């Protein structure tokens, strides 16, 4: 295993592990654990023992589920990478990760938005691209600190009015969705800097788009 000299970072990226070595669970002082691209099909419940973690990278694996003990990682504040797996849901306990600032669940199999994410009040950036999502829940409005929301290449046909209640949102990426309309509430986002509508075949663009642009928001279409 390749471990940084300070003993708090363990980088096991692309080691063809297949499963996580038991010795990992003994390193309870870890702040960063990288397990990306290892063909993992299971995350043992022992992950909950690593309570000092601030960053966890499980991207590019074959995980279909995650243990409830993931919610024990209440110090997880920097990054949680879960992209490019086979996830269809997240454990309810993930809602306890209220200090988390970045979550990436892109390129999974979420057909329903994992609503426990709505309780991650510390989130600044959320990436849910490349899933078969058909709807976004009203509870998205609870993410009052969110600055970036990436929803590219889903199956969204509409967005809730609640999207307009994200006071810190700067970037909204809607590329490649079969949207039929956009809520006027988007024009009420006070800090929106970038709205990406490329490869979105709206029947017609809403009349408030020029207003957004006049306010300094860049609209890609």
Taking only the tens place, the pLDDT of each residue in 18-40 is 999 999 999 999 999 999 999 99
For residue 51, how far is the Cα from the chain centroid? Answer: 21
> pTM of the entire structure?
0.96
Domain ranges for the chain: 1-109, 138-221
Asked whether 68 and 91 are in contact (CB, 8 A), the reply is yes
pLDDT tens digits for range 159-205? 999 999 999 999 999 999 999 999 999 999 999 999 999 999 999 99
| Structure letter (DSSP) for residue 107 | S
Q: What CATH architecture is 1-109?
A: Alpha-Beta Horseshoe (3.80)
Q: What CATH architecture is 138-221?
A: Alpha-Beta Horseshoe (3.80)
């Amino acid at each position: 295993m390749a471990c940084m000299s300070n003993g708090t970072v363990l980088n096991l990226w692309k080691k063809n592990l297949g499963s996580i070595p038991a010795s990992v669970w003994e390193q309870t002082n870890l702040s960063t654990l990288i397990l990306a691209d290892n063909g993992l099909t299971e995350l043992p419940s022992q992950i909950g023992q690593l309570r000092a973690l601030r960053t966890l990278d499980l991207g590019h694996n074959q995980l279909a589920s995650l243990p409830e003990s993931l919610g024990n990682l209440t110090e997880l504040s920097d990054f949680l990478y879960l992209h490019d797996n086979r996830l269809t849901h997240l454990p309810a306990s993930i809602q306890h990760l209220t200090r988390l600032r970045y979550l990436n669940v892109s390129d999974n199999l979420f057909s329903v938005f994992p609503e426990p994410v709505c309780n991650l009040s510390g989130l600044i950036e959320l990436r849910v691209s490349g899933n078969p999502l058909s709807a976004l829940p009203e509870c998205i409005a609870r993410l009052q600190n969110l600055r970036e929301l990436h929803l590219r290449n889903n199956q969204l046909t509409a967005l809730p009015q609640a999207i307009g209640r994200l006071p810190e949102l700067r970037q909204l990426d809607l590329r490649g969705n079969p949207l039929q309309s956009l809520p006027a509430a988007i024009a009420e986002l006070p800090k929106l800097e970038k709205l990406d509508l490329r490869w979105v075949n709206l029947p017609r663009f809403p009349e408030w788009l020029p207003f957004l642009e006049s306010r300094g928001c860049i609209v890609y279409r």
